[in-house]
Structure 1
Amino acid sequence: MQNTDVILKKQEELNSKYKKLVEQAYNFRQTDSALSDISEYKAIKLLNKLNRLKFLAREQYQSIA
């Protein structure tokens, strides 16, 4: 059960960072396209990590049930 809590906490942290990066990319879109692209790339990398954590969380819930 503790592993699941750690995974969920990490998911929340990464989700918060992801939202900030997406917002940052959107805001930079009109003024600096290079910074927008960099922020978007970082957001995509975080989304990949989030998807892997979702998979791990699903595995944890299935093993408990």
Structure 2
Amino acid sequence: MFISFSMNRTDDIKTQEIKLNQRYKQLIELAYNFRQTDSALSDISEFRAIKLLNKLNRLKYLSREVKQHITS
């Protein structure tokens, strides 16, 4: 029962990671595209991308912790 819960949790984390990673890439692309035309929008997109990257790093850490707990 515990292993099943942990596997579902791992899948949920992985799904969230994929969504955040896609959004991160979109924001970085926007920041790059706005760089020459609107530096304020570029900065805003880059700031949002950095915030998403921070969330991604926390999810990766959480995912690692769950995987370690499953194997032990």
How does the TM-score come out when normalised to structure 1? 0.99
Structure 2: 5+ residue stretches without partners: 1-6
**What root-mean-square deviation, in Å, do the aligned CA atoms of Structure 1 and Structure 2 show?**
0.3
Alignment of 1:23-62 (within 5 A): 23-62=29-68
Q: Percent identity?
A: 66
Distance 2:65 2:21 in 1: 20
1:14 match: 20
Moved over 3 A (4+): none
For these two proteins, the number of residue pairs brought into alignment is 65
Structure 1: 5+ residue stretches without partners: none
How does the TM-score come out when normalised to structure 2? 0.90
